[in-house]
Structure 1
Amino acid sequence: MKKKIILNVIGLRCPEPIMLIRKTMRNMKNNETILIVSDDPTTKRDIPNFCYFMEHQLLKHDIKVKPYRYLLKKGL
């Protein structure tokens, strides 16, 4: 059974969400997924860039209304 990892960063502002995402993902195994919930508009730009540079996958995102939701898969 896969464990569900949910990271709630509502109320936090840049750069805190990315710092917490990075810290959490360091402790994950490759191919595990994490759901991130945020209300910071800068995450719409920051999370895709984070995934690109850190070689993670942004599997899904919902950024039409707050709270924003991002589903990431840990890469290398």
Structure 2
Amino acid sequence: MSDATLYDLKGLKCPLPVLKTRRRLADMQRGDELCIETTDPLAVIDVPHFCSQDGHALVETVKLENGHRFRIRKG
């Protein structure tokens, strides 16, 4: 996971993972990375769309046993 901050969003349903990710990224510097973990099945659609819309880079998507981990670089 290197230097990215881990943000645990497991158990939250759409749209909360994206809303909380947006809020957390707002306090970060351009180029900083944030890893989020979520159990929301819609996150595989919502997170890439959010990154594209807000100008962030989706660096990595990892399937976990109970969800996904996304590494996002703030744009």
TM-score > 0.5, shorter chain as reference: yes
Structure 1 segments (4+ residues) deviating >2 Å: 63-67
Q: What aligned pairs does 1:7-18 form with structure 2 within 5 A after superposition? A: 7-18=7-18
Partner of 1:22: 22
Q: Where in structure 2 are there 5+ consecutive unaligned residues?
A: none
Output the CA distance in 2 between the equivalents of 1:51 and 1:6. Answer: 17
**Are the counterparts in 1 of residues 41 and 67 from structure 2 also a CA contact under 8 Å?**
no
Output the CA distance in 2 between the equivalents of 1:12 and 1:6. Answer: 15
TM-score (norm 1): 0.89
TM-score (norm 2): 0.90
1:51 aligns with 2:60: no
User: How much identity, in percent, do the aligned residues show?
Assistant: 26
Q: Where in structure 1 are there 5+ consecutive unaligned residues?
A: none
Higher strand share: 2
Partner of 1:71: 71
